[in-house]
């Protein structure tokens, strides 16, 4: 002990005081909440998957009802025949546009096959599986239904066009290509892709009716087939890890949904009115050959509006199912700033 230390010690003992030194506090740190992944909560994701299954079941039931009425009832075959006959009146200006739309299908299909191959090469396997499900599954289902499962009995007597054409292969290819393009589009541009895809699919569907390649029920059932496989792809997508922008709602999302469902209502009402108007002038039996130009045009327009309405419904539902879990994803909690 040095003399200075001894003096300090004696001084403290004499005064009975204890020297205190200021304590240096450690800098306070913010309580950090545990990081949360930007995935949808399990309960909400489970309900969303059930929604995908519900849409799949719904479109199967709808396709079954449409097919049963169109193929196996006299009224159904008469309505299809009336619209098919009325389509000849649309083979003027509309067909000039329609056949050009149909000519683009091979180009669109080739581009999408290249996109699927690129996705596989980049090891984006889940995206490639979704595309294969929509395009391959829908096309295979359509061909099996048309060539193997379904038949069109002759319920109208002297009617020669008996070959079954339900569902429409052209519409299936166009609609499945449009849905696949929506899957490949980055999330920010997906609402626009849904609207453009719906417009393209509807244009192809109406063009096949205008060109007298298919009846309205053929096109509607094809759209429902694509809707089934699109909902299955949306179900598969719920198992895909979200991207960095998974919690951000894309601009135009609500607008795209509003446009789709507004078209569903407006075109659906027009189609319903035309259907009732045509049904009221149908003969009790046989081929409706004496309807007149006006009634045939109403039947044809009703078929076209029905195609547009179903197309908008399918694409609106698929956009909702595809982006729903990500749009409703849980955001990470904000760290507390209270000391």
Which is more confident, 36 or 293? 293
Q: How high is the pLDDT of residue 115?
A: 72
Task: Please write the tens of the pLDDT for every residue from 79-106.
Answer: 999 999 999 887 766 656 655 666 666 6
Q: Is the peptide bond before 167 cis (omega within 30 degrees of 0)?
A: yes
- Domain presence at residue 10: no
- Domain presence at residue 41: no
- Domain presence at residue 141: yes
* Number of domains forming the structure of the chain: 1
Which is more confident, 299 or 45? 299
The answer on pLDDT for 58 being more than 80 is yes
Where does the pLDDT of residue 169 fall: very low under 50, low under 70, confident under 90, or very high at 90 and above?
very high
Residue partners of 277: CB distance under 8 A and separation at least 6:
295, 298, 302
The answer on pLDDT for 229 being more than 70 is yes
Q: Which of 188, 213, 186 is nearest to 105 (CA)?
A: 213
Between the alpha carbon of residue 234 and those of residues 10, 44, 178, 311, the distances in Å are 84, 15, 14, 17
The answer on pLDDT for 292 being more than 80 is yes
Residue partners of 16: CB distance under 8 A and separation at least 6:
none
Q: State phi, psi for 153 to the nearest 5 degrees.
A: -70, 155
The answer on pLDDT for 7 being more than 70 is no
- Count of beta carbons in the 10 Å neighbourhood of residue 141: 19
Using only C-alpha atoms, the chain has a radius of gyration, in whole angstroms, of 32
- Domain presence at residue 322: yes
Where does the pLDDT of residue 176 fall: very low under 50, low under 70, confident under 90, or very high at 90 and above?
very high
Q: How high is the pLDDT of residue 126?
A: 82
- Domain presence at residue 334: no
Query: Do residues 71 and 77 make contact, with C-beta atoms less than 8 angstroms apart?
Result: yes
Tokens 């135009």 -> residue: 252
- How far is Cα 219 from Cα 134, in angstroms, rounded to an integer? 17
- Compute the 3-state secondary structure of the chain and give helix, strand, coil in percent, each to the nearest 5: 70, 0, 30
The least confident of 92-101, 137-146, 258-267, 288-297 is 92-101
Q: How high is the pLDDT of residue 237?
A: 87
Which is more confident, 237 or 94? 237
Where does the pLDDT of residue 308 fall: very low under 50, low under 70, confident under 90, or very high at 90 and above?
very high
Q: Residue 308: which domain range?
A: 46-327
The three-state secondary structure class of 250 is coil
- Domain presence at residue 9: no
- How far is Cα 173 from Cα 141, in angstroms, rounded to an integer? 11
- Domain presence at residue 178: yes
Where does the pLDDT of residue 230 fall: very low under 50, low under 70, confident under 90, or very high at 90 and above?
very high
- Domain presence at residue 230: yes
Residues in the chain: 339
The answer on pLDDT for 62 being more than 90 is yes
């Amino acid at each position: 002990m040095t003399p200075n230390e001894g003096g300090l010690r004696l001084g403290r003992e004499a005064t009975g005081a204890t020297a205190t030194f200021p304590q240096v506090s450690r800098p306070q740190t913010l309580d950090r909440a545990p990081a949360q992944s930007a995935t949808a909560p399990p309960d909400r994701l489970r309900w969303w998957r059930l929604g995908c299954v519900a849409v799949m079941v719904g479109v199967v039931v709808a396709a079954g009802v449409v097919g049963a009425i169109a193929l196996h009832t006299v009224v159904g075959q008469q309505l299809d025949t009336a619209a098919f006959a009325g389509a000849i009146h649309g083979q003027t200006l509309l067909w000039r546009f329609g056949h050009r739309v149909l000519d683009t299908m091979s180009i669109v299909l080739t581009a999408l096959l290249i996109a699927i191959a690129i996705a596989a090469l980049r090891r984006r396997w889940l995206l490639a599986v979704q595309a294969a499900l929509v395009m391959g599954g829908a096309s295979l289902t359509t061909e099996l239904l048309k060539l193997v499962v379904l038949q069109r009995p002759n319920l109208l007597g002297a009617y020669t066009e008996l070959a079954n054409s339900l569902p429409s292969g052209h519409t299936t290819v166009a609609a499945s290509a449009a849905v696949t393009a929506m899957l490949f589009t980055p999330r920010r541009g997906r609402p626009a892709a849904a609207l453009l895809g719906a417009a393209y699919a509807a244009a192809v569907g109406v063009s096949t009716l205008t060109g007298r390649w298919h009846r309205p029920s053929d096109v509607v059932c094809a759209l429902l087939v694509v809707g089934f496989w699109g909902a299955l792809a949306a179900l598969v997508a719920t198992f895909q890890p979200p991207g960095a922008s998974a919690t951000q709602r894309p601009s135009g999302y609500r607008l795209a949904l509003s446009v789709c469902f507004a078209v569903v209502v407006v075109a659906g009402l027009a189609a319903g009115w035309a259907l009732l108007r045509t049904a009221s002038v149908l003969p009790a039996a046989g081929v409706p050959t004496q309807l007149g130009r006006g009634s045939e045009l109403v039947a044809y327009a009703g078929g076209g509006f029905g195609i547009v309405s179903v197309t908008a419904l399918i694409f609106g539902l698929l956009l909702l199912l595809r982006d729903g879990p990500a749009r409703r994803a849980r955001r990470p909690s904000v760290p507390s700033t209270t000391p």
